[in-house]
Amino acid sequence: MNDFERILGISFPKGIKISHATNTSKKAKKDSIFFGLKGTKDHGSKYIDEAIKLGASIAVHNDEDYKYNSECVFYIKDLEDPIKGSKTKIYQFLETFYQMPRDFKPAYYGFTGTNGKSSAAFLCHQLIRKIKLNSLYVGTLGFQYNNEEFNSTISSKTTPDIFELFEIFSVCKFNISYISIEVSSHALDQDRLKDIRFLYSAILNIEIDHLDYHKNINEYAKAKFKILNMTDGDVAVNDQISIKHKDYLDNYDGPFKLISVGDNDLSDITFNILESDIYKTKFTITNGDTVEYTSSLFPKFNVNNLVFALLPMMKDPFFLTDNINDLSFLKLPKGRTEIIAGLDANIIIDYAHNPNGIKFFLESIKDYFDNLIVVLGCGGNRDKSKRSDMLKIAIENSEKVIFTSDNPRNESFDSIYSDASRGNNIDNVKDIEDRKKAIIYGSKLIGDNDCLVILGKGHEETQEVNGKFIHFSDHEVVNEIYK
């Protein structure tokens, strides 16, 4: 019996080879082992036949109702069940399959929240690199190992599943000391990372989002708070969450220490912005002692994200000394409050794509400019209830709104715009379905101290239309206009 058979508790047919492991049938190939696991809509057992046709030599599943007449398909009841004092069988299989070194014990830093988790996780990754430790960022942008180029070929999810995560580890040759990872509500609800323990977690905010999946805000918040049960160290929580969800948080009795973070004296850790413009912000963090920092980040919500990124690092002398407090080396991820450089106009691209994200963003930047011209759309086949709120907030915080396509998916632009318009005064709204034409139109409306704000897609380089992904980049359009 080989190690794989021992871990899974089965005996393979003679001559079976395993050179690849996946839980996605479309990734199956010759000599794959396919894991058919419970999904949000279907059980993975439904795709076993497809995986075998693509070359999988073994398939395992935990669907007691599924029958498949083959000596190469195995039902394993406890495949995903936690084993007392150990990891699940899946994790044990993967660490053996990838020959994970026994001393591979990275510190996991998890960041969750409706808005800001990409920025916070990426900022934390950069802070770790500044003290020359091997670091991995994993999230919406793909993954970045140390200072290498971003890689988005392994996973398209904000939070990869454990199979994809091991594949990423393997690419990095397990030479990782710290992992800063975005943890989405979907990933938490689906227990994608059930075998991972965080040394530090941050819950940045909880606002209304993804109700097409979670159905209501209580279920959404419940999913976010699952990260508490996955954390052994400190959990930093926005002070508003501490207030709004106090009763909920009081029910948790884990090994973690709960820390509230905010800009008032009631918080355990406070930050205070001393000076700020679009190029530089000076602020302090008080955690017993008060330390002053400077950064190129703006506005306030990005400083807030930076504070959450700094907290696990502040014990390092580099970030505590009086004479080394310049954090100007930090950069936000592409498409996050990104002022496009080298132009004779103010253009900002940002990923904000829900009501609160748009509200925080526009209210935070509008005092820096005379007028804002806003380009935005709403995603198709997603939560329709937020569309009118998104447009309303854009109208209230701008001189003009150009409503355009985002990722329409299988919905018509007219239907999406109709939902967004409902209950709003659209006298100051121009609808232009073609996103490129919308951006060009907006660029013609701004004066010297105005700003064109392009929201919703950020770093993305495709639009999803009728099941196809069409190349499109807000950045490329802007650079074409001003080249």
466 and 351 share one domain: yes
- Per cent of the chain over pLDDT 90 is 81
* CA–centroid distance for 189 within its chain: 14
Res. 237 pLDDT band, cuts 50 70 90: very high
Let me know: does 294 contact 326? Beta carbons within 8 Å.
yes
Region 390-415 average pLDDT? 97
The verdict on 65 and 114 lying in the same domain is: no
Domain span at residue 206 reads 107-319
- Residue 269's identity, in one-letter code, is I
Task: Inform me whether the pLDDT recorded for 360 exceeds 70.
Answer: yes
CATH number of the domain that 395 lies in? 3.90.190.20
Q: State the CATH number of the domain containing residue 56.
A: 3.40.1390.10
Determine the pLDDT at residue 324: 47
Is the model more confident about 47 or about 84?
47
Cα 136 → chain centroid: 14
Residues 73 and 169 in one domain: no
Q: Please check the confidence at residue 322 and state whether its pLDDT lies above 80.
A: no
pLDDT score of 149 more than 60 = yes
pLDDT at residue 171, as a whole number: 97
Does pLDDT of 33 surpass 80?
yes
Mean pLDDT of the chain: 93
Looking at the structure, tell me whether residues 314 and 342 fall in a common domain: no
What was the pLDDT predicted at 32? 98
Q: What is the mean pLDDT of residues 425-430?
A: 97
Choose the most confident range, by mean pLDDT, from 276-280, 380-384, 470-474. Answer: 470-474
The domain boundary residue, chosen from 88, 120, 145: 88
HSE (CB half, 13 Å, CA atoms) of 458? Answer: 19
Q: Is residue 351 part of a domain?
A: yes
pLDDT in tens, 255-267: 888 999 999 888 9
In this structure, the answer to whether residues 13 and 111 fall within a common structural domain is no
- Owner of token pair 């392009």: 454
Q: Is the CB of residue 142 less than 8 Å from the CB of residue 122?
A: no
Classify residue 324: in a domain, yes or no: no
Mean pLDDT confidence for 239-257? 82
Q: Is 209 helix (H, G, I), strand (E, B) or coil?
A: coil
Mean pLDDT over 100-110 rounds to 96
Please give the single-letter amino acid code of residue 429: V
The H-or-E segment that residue 175 falls in is: none
Phi, psi of 47 (to 5 degrees): -110, 10
Check whether residue 80 and residue 135 sit in a common domain. Answer: no
* Separation of alpha carbons 434 and 413, rounded Å: 10
Peptide bond into 13 cis (omega under 30): no
Region 7-24: mean pLDDT is: 95
Residue 368 pLDDT more than 80?
A: yes
Q: Are residues 369 and 260 in the same domain?
A: no
317 pLDDT exceeds 60?
no
**In a shared domain, residues 124 and 270:** yes
Q: 331 in a domain, yes or no?
A: no
Backbone angles phi, psi at 182, to 5 degrees: -75, 135
Q: What is the mean pLDDT of residues 268-275?
A: 94
Q: How far apart are CA 191 and CA 263, in angstroms?
A: 33
- Taking 3-state DSSP, the helix, strand and coil percentages for the chain, each rounded to the nearest 5, stand at 35, 25, 45
356 pLDDT band, cuts 50/70/90, is: confident
377 close to 472: Cβ distance less than 8 angstroms = no
d(CA 280, CA 257): 33
Give dist(CA 299, CA 302) in Å, integer: 6
Find out whether 264 and 239 touch, Cβ atoms under 8 Å.
Answer: yes
pLDDT-derived band of residue 319, with 50, 70 and 90 as boundaries? low
The two beta strands, 142-145 and 178-182, are unpaired
Residue 118 lies in a domain: yes
Decide if 100 is inside a domain.
no
407 class by beta-carbon count within 10 Å (0-12 exposed, 13-18 middle, 19+ buried): buried
The residues facing 259 across adjacent strands are: 236
- Mean pLDDT, rounded, for 45-67: 96
Domain count, the chain: 3
332 within domain boundaries: no
Confidence band (pLDDT; 50, 70, 90) for 182?
Answer: very high
pLDDT digits (tens, 9 = 90+) for 119-147: 999 999 999 999 899 999 999 999 999 99
Nearest to 437 by CA among 469, 371, 380, 481: 481
| Confidence class for position 323, pLDDT limits 50, 70, 90 | low
Q: Are residues 42 and 147 in the same domain?
A: no
Which of 265, 284, 319 is the C-terminal boundary of a domain? 319
Taking the CA of residue 146 as centre, how many other CA atoms within 13 Å lie in the half-sphere pointing to its CB? 12
Instruction: Dump pLDDT digits (tens) for 202-233.
Output: 999 988 666 677 678 888 888 999 999 999 99
Average pLDDT on 428-452 reads 97
- C-alpha closest to that of 402 among 410, 413, 391: 391
CATH number at residue 315: 3.40.1190.10
The last residue of one of the domains, among 319, 350, 385, is 319
Do 117 and 228 fall into the same domain? yes
Average pLDDT over residues 281-300: 91
In this structure, the answer to whether residues 344 and 430 fall within a common structural domain is yes
- Same structural domain for residues 75 and 122? no
Q: From the CB of residue 49, how many other CB atoms can be counted at a distance below 10 Å?
A: 15
Does residue 95 lie within any of the structural domains?
A: no
Average pLDDT, stretch 143-160? 95
**Is 173's pLDDT higher than 60?**
yes
Asked if residue 329 belongs to a domain, the reply is no
